[in-house]
């Protein structure tokens, strides 16, 4: 129960957006995107707002490189049965 309420209280990070062009002739031209639509909440974002939201969302998924194992470390662990 508490988890659902916590999820609803958090603002949408706008991590997944779709571009929108006002003119059909501009479709596919990145520099002529009018705005973006958040696929999660439906908010309309300017290109600048979308860029900021993407940067913030990317920071949230960064991992500590010190936690990564190299392929060699993984193979050694498998040989020892550490899996």
Low-confidence ranges of the chain (pLDDT < 70): 1-8, 62-69, 82-83
- Residue 21, pLDDT score: 97
54 CA to centre of own chain: 6
Q: Whole-angstrom Cα distance, residue 52 to residue 39?
A: 16
- Residue 13, pLDDT score: 87
Length of the chain counted residue by residue: 83
- The domains of the chain are located at 12-80
Cβ neighbours, 10 Å, residue 12: 14
Q: Whole-angstrom Cα distance, residue 2 to residue 66?
A: 33
Strand partners of residue 51: none
* pLDDT tens for each residue of 2-18: 445 545 678 898 889 99
Is the Cβ–Cβ distance between 38 and 14 less than 8 Å?
Answer: yes
């Amino acid at each position: 129960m508490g988890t659902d309420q916590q999820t609803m209280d958090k603002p949408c990070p706008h991590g997944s957006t779709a571009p929108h062009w006002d003119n059909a002739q501009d479709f596919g031209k990145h520099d002529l995107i009018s705005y973006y639509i958040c696929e999660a909440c439906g908010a309309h974002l300017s290109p600048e707002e979308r860029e900021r939201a993407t940067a913030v969302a990317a920071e949230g998924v960064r991992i500590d490189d010190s936690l990564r194992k190299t392929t060699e470390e993984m193979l050694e662990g498998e040989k020892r049965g550490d899996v």
